[in-house]
Amino acid sequence: MAEQDQKDQIILDQLRQIEEFSAQHPRVFDESRGALRVFTYGTAGFRMHADYLESVVYRVGLLAALRSRNLDGSTIGVMITASHNPPEDNGVKLIDPQGEMLEASWEAFATKFANADSDVDLARAYLDLSESLNINLEKPANVVYARDTRASGPALAAALKDGLTASGAAMTNYEVLTTPQLHYIVKSINTASTPTPYGEPNEMGYYAKLSDAFAAVMADKGPAIVTVDAANGVGGTQLRKLADSIDDKFLQINIVNNASDSPEKLNALCGADFVKTQQTLPAGTEPVPLALHASLDGDADRIVFYYVDQAKRFFLLDGDKIASLAAMFIQELLVQAGLQNKIRVGVVQTAYANGSSTRYIQEVLKVPVTVTPTGVKHLHHAAQQYDVGVYFEANGHGTVLFSAAAARELASFEAQSPGQQSAVTNLARLIDVINQTVGDAMSDLLLVVTILAHKAWGPADWNSAYTDLPNRLVRVVVRDRFGFKTEDAERRLVEPVGVQAQIDDLVNKYKLGRSFVRASGTEDAVRVYAEAETRLEADELALKVADLVKNY
């Protein structure tokens, strides 16, 4: 009985601490809505104006501790970032043990915790979840966390620490990192005692893993030269550290928009999202014709490339272009090694993928394409169905996954010629060049540079593989974004009833026309995407569809 009393006391102490700390991080009343703010854990976790986030981040700390205990003490990651959003926003998301996004079933638990009405209700939700999942609250819990360079980051990290303290979790604060670096560290910690550890579980281990593999695959190439717009975010400082670990004879990086110590400049007229949506050069760049340029986003999990020609015309090389380049190169190496029938390559895209890219991958490369709803968690899962799964959103967020079976096939392969050996060796090295836990701008930069060097291509050669259809993306403010429900990987509207038929009528009037509407995952708006044979027609179609949905 004494032992049971001790266990009960541990639980009571946790619940008391949860309530006491919660009182220091109350939910904020939303004056514009006349009510407490309602939160939803979406594709990007929780993301909004930083003023509303303190209570949410505190509660995420509680959930992270429970998630770790539910997985027998495996280390869980928590990243505080709002990626490409403006500086006044922030966000928080959880990372599961293998560096992947939070398991989907736990998103509802996160939402419930964030919306608990009172301190007592929060403690009750914590206890209810532990009981429903049979989580032993005496078990150890381990959590690591980091943040980007936003001014609100330190205060939100302090709120997270309170949540971890209240729930009795062991914690390590990695301070300022890119989002992919924290994903890497989480997986490295959780695989450290396995036969195949992912890497040294720290920031320097990340640089060593990428730089060593890159140097090996670039042994007789280079130097590659690239200018990178760091969006005035965390990526600039971390990219400089990576570049310093790579010999100049392989890679030379010029970093612009690197004012990470001025948080108010974050993503201002620069960064991957700005370049992608505005289809123009970021501020602070004066590109040399035909030279390779790239832009990161605020937390360095996205990258897009671009160049200008001799007439200073701008050409964007986005996530679709990256996916097609990676699929082409990997397929070529597999054919060279004679492994194309043993290791199956597939590409995963979303509805935002340009129609020309999909046709090129399927019809020219002869590589299958899977289309999923928007959100990396959907693409990542679909990519795992292939031996080598290439996934990129058009915005530049993505990576390449090599299955364990594919890695074993490469490791055990007995080459019959120098050409076969070279192909297999390069494929094996690519596995370590690529951060396979999540889309990683710095890792993807090395991947693209590697492929261009091996093919002796410049950005114009890369771009000439296929020509994008002109496209337009329009943001439309609506009364209720949740009234827009979709099917067919978000390519067709189910609700509001009848709207899809009207969109179809508009699309049928344009050659190579395509358009879809989906609710934003982070703001009260819907996105309208359209493409057509000419720029004028793509713009016209997008605006007509936007006009159609704006009254719903």
What is the domain partition of the chain in residue ranges?
Answer: 2-176, 204-315, 319-463, 471-549
Secondary structure letter of residue 1 according to DSSP: -
More confident residue, 222 or 268: 268
pLDDT one-digit tens code per residue, 147-170 = 999 999 999 999 999 999 999 999
DSSP 200: -
- Token pair in block for residue 486: 């979709």
Check if 2-176 and 204-315 are the same fold.
Answer: yes
**Listed residue (232, 224, 390, 216) closest to 299, CA to CA:** 232
Beta bridge partners of residue 30, listed in sequence order = 35
Residue type, 122: L
Q: Is pLDDT at 192 greater than 90 in this prediction?
A: yes
* Whether 83 is catalytic: yes
Helix (H) or strand (E) holding 104: helix 104-114
| pLDDT tens track for 51-75 | 999 999 999 999 999 999 999 999 9
CA–CA separation, 450 and 430 (whole Å): 9
Catalytic: which of 83, 211, 356, 357?
83
- Give yes or no for residue 116 having a pLDDT over 50: yes
Quick one: pLDDT at residue 465? 96
Residue 503: phi and psi, rounded to 5, are -65, -45
Cβ neighbour number for residue 64 with a 10 Å cutoff: 30
Burial letters for 31-42: b for 16+ Cβ neighbours within 10 Å, e otherwise? eeeeeebebebb
State the amino acid at position 167 in one-letter form: S
pLDDT of residue 449 exceeding 60: yes
Q: Strands 525-531 and 514-519, how do they pair? A: antiparallel
Q: Which residues of 202-235 are buried (b: 16+ CB within 10 A; e: fewer)?
A: bbebbbebbbebbbebbeebbebebbbbbbbbbb
pLDDT level of residue 108 (50, 70, 90 thresholds): very high
Section 356-375 average pLDDT: 95
Task: Give domain 319-463's CATH architecture.
Answer: 3-Layer(aba) Sandwich (3.40)
pLDDT of 337 over the 50 cut: yes
311 Cβ neighbours under 8 A, 6+ residues apart = none
pTM: 0.94
| Alpha carbon distance 400, 222 (integer Å) | 23
Q: How much is the mean pLDDT over the chain? A: 95
At 117-137, the pLDDT tens digits run: 999 999 999 999 999 999 999
Q: Tens digits of per-residue pLDDT, 407-426?
A: 999 999 999 999 999 999 99
pLDDT of residue 33: 72
Superfamily the domain 2-176 falls into:
Alpha-D-Glucose-1,6-Bisphosphate, subunit A, domain 3 (3.40.120.10)
Q: Span 90-109, mean pLDDT?
A: 96
pLDDT at 9 over 70: yes
C-alpha–C-alpha distance, residues 222 and 213, integer Å = 15
| Domain 471-549, CATH among 3.10.450.50, 3.30.2090.10, 3.40.50.9100, 3.30.310.50 | 3.30.310.50
Number of Cβ within a 10 Å radius of residue 247: 13
The pLDDT, as a whole number, for residue 14 is 85
Q: Are 528 and 506 in contact (CB under 8 A)?
A: no
> Which of 305, 298, 267 is closest to 284 using CA atoms?
267
Instruction: Give me the pLDDT at residue 5, please.
Output: 64
98-107: average pLDDT: 94
> Which residues are registered as beta bridge partners of 69?
none
Query: Is residue 334 scored above 60 in pLDDT?
Result: yes
Q: Using CA atoms, how far apart are residues 251 and 448, in angstroms rounded to an integer?
A: 12
In the predicted structure, residue 321 carries a pLDDT above the cut 90: yes
What residues are paired with 29 via a beta bridge? 36
Residue partners of 227: CB distance under 8 A and separation at least 6: 253, 254, 255, 256, 285, 287, 291, 292, 293, 294
What number is the average pLDDT over the span 319-345? 97
Assess if CATH 3.40.50.10860 describes domain 204-315. Answer: no
- Residue 6: pLDDT over 70: no
Helix-helix angle 2-23:54-70, to 10 degrees: 160
Give yes or no for a contact between 403 and 387, defined as CB atoms under 8 angstroms apart: yes
Q: What is the pLDDT of residue 1?
A: 45
